[in-house]
Structure 1
Amino acid sequence: MDDDGEATDTAGGREDDASAISFGTDGWRATLDEFTDARVRMVGQAVADHLDAEGEPGTVAVGYDARATSRGFAEELARTLCANGHDVLLPERDCPTPAVAWTVTDRDLAGALMVTASHNPPEYNGVKFVPADGAPALPTVTDRLEATLRAPDPLPEAEWGTVAEIDVVGPYVDHLLAFLGLENDDLAGLTVAYDAMHGSGRGVTDRALERAGAEVVELRTDDDPTFGGTPPEPAAERLSALVSRVTDGDADLGVANDGDADRIGVVAPAEGYVDANMLFTLLYDHLLGSRSGGAVRTVSTTFLVDRVAEAHGESVTETAVGFKWVAEAMAETGALLGGEESGGFGVRGHLRNKDGVLLALLAARAEAAEPLDGRLARLREAHGDIHQDRVSVDCPDDRKAAVVAGLGEALPDRVAGAAVDRVNDVDGFKILLGDGTWLLVRPSGTEPKMRVYAEAGDPGRVAALLTAGRELVEPLV
């Protein structure tokens, strides 16, 4: 408290200063000097006001991840919602974000708040709002939340709601197994190495795999709020132990989840770490073996998905980066699978949201049906190989719009020796070239950077495209 009795934060600003709260690509995340109890309560009040304005007086779930501070922040949110007349369901343990989102749809709740900073380091926390449909909140909603942030305004105590602790994990795992048609011995004979990265997938993803009959080798499934000193992000460079377990022959398949288990990383014996673009392609191919439907992918995700879709007489919808746009397009098109190049995928009929637990089961089911190494070889033989990479160019947030505008005024006719065929401006500029390769330049939604992506049939061509992209962007910053 300061000398006037007003709350202050360690960064020197007022702890109840709403200007520090900004809902980005997937909720509000900040370091713990800014992510304070007072500001979390303001988010809870904004959600209560939003639900009241929408005529949603019902029950709200408040979930939380495995971070040391998450349960406490969840309780602050629960108290704020209760003081506004809402009953609240609080999970009895930390749990995956998709488990909370599914609970919203399964119990017909008014919505949910999830306390998580996903794959960020432990000095961060965050909160996201999940509407009644279980999909990510669109900007029309999060913009309204930002605009109405205020200190809690409780009703008379006689009108307060109640808090009940519930088992979220058990019913969720039951549903996943039933949804995929997996029974006790369907994965018998399959050994899966599972790396929870100390996140909320521990005791959930491994439990689901075991119930389907798989033998599970556990890595980092103990409770450690520091995540072992590394951010819980299932990228190749953070999964060396998992990769070794699989490539050394200790397991048929490796799967990992991020901190809140809405994303997945996969390892196959010969392939090693499976690039998320290839994972999208092989999972879509597997689903198309028994179901029909198109796909939705972000603008930064591989065209190889399109080739698989075309071979099955299906179509693909391309969206801006951010799973909220994928989810919206899945609703509009009825797509079978939606995904992005960061390892987040949603499947029709389950949840229009990322679910790394479901995808771990789906990857295991795909491996049992046809080893992933063989499936990847078959897909490459049929549709060609792809390589993709990205680089970042430092760019202050207040320069991003000018850079995009400047690029739009000076788009070249040729890039890295190939003629420009067409340009997609759904998110920045995706320059499609006559040789079948592409270059994408877009502003980051989370950092002061411009992102430059490229895809081609070989790594050398990708490197040349990225160099050309950097040369386009840097003079404009």
Structure 2
Amino acid sequence: MDEISFGTDGWRATLDTFTAPRVRMVGQAVATHLEEEGLAGPVGVCYDARESSPGFAEELARVLCANGFDVVMPERDRPTPLLSWNIVERELAGGLMLTASHNPPEYNGVKFIPSDGAPALPEITGSIEANLAEPEPLPEEEWGSVRRVDFVTPHADQALDLVGEDVDLTVAYDAIHGSGRGVTDSLLKRAGVDVIRLRCEDDPTFGGVSPEPTEENLAELIERVTEGEAELGVANDGDADRIAVVTPERGLLNTNLLYAALYDYLLETDSGAAVRTVSTTFLVDRIAEAHGERAIEVPVGFKWVADAMVAEDALMGGEESGGFSIRGHVPEKDGVLTALLAAAAHDEDPLDDRVDRLLAEHGEIHQGRVSVDCPDEEKARTLDALSESIPEAVAGERVEDVNTADGFKLLLESGAWLLVRPSGTEPKLRVYAEAEEEGRVEALLDAGSELVREVR
């Protein structure tokens, strides 16, 4: 039980720790939580493409059924955002997703998604952790049943209604053998896109790489687009809740610039605020201000983005790690929907051209991130020490303000910023910086890393 901890996005661990008995305890905790909340079910259970995921999903389904809940499952591995949408569409009590997202095959994970389809907030995950226990089955005649259903079509229908069809493009799609295969590419195809499929075969080892859409992992996709075989490239991570986009001129498009471009595209026909995390670019703020809108800053973690999107009826929410959602959809990051949105935006006006215009109008932005090793048990002490030694200047520039919503964000007089915050998944502190010159970003990252080392 001590090994189970719901962090930024559920509980993840290597398979020597992520075991069937512990997964069953999570299932029992969710059943108890739902009973305490007066939610009678049914409950969705979904899973990613890892070899271990179907078995763990069946363990969860059995525990939920033994507690009297009916269970709804897809016919095969499916993306996390499809579970979120089906929870809302089918009026489920909630759902459990078996996934370790972008982590390598030797990991797995599980997260609970409440009935609104949004990421669970701390009070919910805290309740689940408090209820961890061995399964307590009801008499067999009171057990629920399992039903396999189509998770893909309801989600695709809504995505097409929300974003539109008749997208006249050739798009290369790289699933990295994850759960987006047969889902993101099929949605694009339904919208009229000519799709070139890469790594869309079933392979629970992800071809020997982590299913993370980084530049290193997307070499073929980038080549297909920059050499002219496709007009746009799209990739998802392992459970397809995040996205990477490749353009002809820029190659792998910085996700901050992608957010800016998509928000700008949406503002052509709609209005509303943008929600972004503390580590996401101020360029979004400048675009919002130019349209008479505002940007809302929240801590890192899509649960905070989702919470603010609902509270503020925001047009778009996102984070620099490639997770986005829009008004009218579930408040959960969705790399499948965003793939269609990116294709529609590019079809109307090439993303490279739109980004060029935005940077010319609002100023250049460059951003970087580095990590500094810091054991989990040392993070709080290190941040406390840092709070007592905030400098008056960083890399020769005066600190004008300090934002403590998530770690420490030092706002500098030029509009640049430096952020130090704890990783929610690794024994590290993250150091981020943004400035108008790339060389300035490097100087700020060096200064931020040195600040952390001085108090360690």
Place the TM-score, normalised by the shorter chain, in its bin.
over 0.9
Q: Which of these residues, 274, 290, 302, is aligned with residue 269 of structure 2?
A: 290
Distance 2:144 2:277 in 1: 40
Alpha carbons 2:164, 2:191 under 8 Å: kept: no
1:58 CA displacement: 1.6
Query: Structure 1: any 5+ residue segments left out of the alignment?
Result: 1-17
Deviations 1:172-222 (A, max 9, x none): 11221112122xxx113x100000010000001100111111100010000
Q: CA deviation at 1:405?
A: 1.1
Question: Of residues 28, 31, 55 in structure 2, which corresponds to 1:48?
Answer: 31
Aligned to 1:345: 324
Task: Quote the Cα distance in structure 2 between the aligned partners of 1:57 and 1:157.
Answer: 17
The 3-state SS of whatever aligns with 2:9 is: coil
Aligned-pair CA distance for 1:310: 0.4
Choose which of 383, 401, 407 in structure 2 pairs with 1:422. Answer: 401
What pairs with 1:282-431 in structure 2 (closer than 5 Å)?
Answer: 282-431=261-410
- Aligned residue pairs total 456
Q: Which amino acid aligns with 2:53?
A: S
- Find runs of 4+ consecutive structure 1 residues off by over 3 angstroms: none
CA distance in 1, matches of 2:432, 2:30: 36
CA–CA distance in structure 1, aligned partners of residues 43 and 292 of structure 2: 41
Q: Match for 1:452: what amino acid? A: V
In the alignment, which of 120, 125, 132 is matched to residue 137 of structure 1? 120
* Higher deviation after alignment, 125-134 or 166-175: 166-175
Q: Work out whether residues 79 and 239 of structure 2, in 8 Å CA contact, stay in contact via their aligned partners in 1.
A: yes
Structure 2 gaps of 5+ residues are: none
Partner of 2:450: 471
Deviations 1:128-160 (A, max 9, x none): 100000000011111111121001000011111
CA distance in 1, matches of 2:164, 2:450: 51
Is 1:162 the equivalent of 2:145?
yes
Question: Contact conserved, 2:68 with 2:144, CA < 8 A, in 1?
Answer: yes
2: CA distance between counterparts of 1:91 and 1:322?
27
Q: Does 1:269 align with 2:248?
A: yes
- SS of 2:347's partner is helix
Query: Among 15, 21, 43, which residue is 1:32 paired with?
Result: 15
Q: Which amino acid is 2:201 matched to?
A: D
Indicate the residue corresponding to 1:81 in structure 2.
Answer: 64
Deviation at 1:466, TM superposition (A): 0.7
1:124 partnered with 2:104 = no
Partners of 1:101 and 1:136 in 2: CA distance: 9
- Name the amino acid aligned to 2:124: V
Q: Which one of the candidate residues 197, 202, 213 is aligned to 2:181?
A: 202
SS of residue in 2 equivalent to 1:233: coil
Give the letter for the 1:438 counterpart. W
**Partner residue of 1:256 out of 235, 238, 244:** 235
- What is the TM-score of this pair, normalised by structure 2? 0.99
Instruction: Return the offset for 1:238.
Output: 1.2
| Aligned-pair identity (%) | 64
Amino acid at match of 2:97: M
Displacement of 1:245 in angstroms is 0.3
Aligned Cα RMSD in Å?
0.7
Aligned equivalents of 2:52, 2:373: Cα separation in 1:
32
Distance in 1 of aligned mates of 2:285 and 2:124? 31
Residue 13 of structure 1 corresponds to: none
Show CA shifts across 1:100-125 (max 9, x none): 11000001110000011110000111
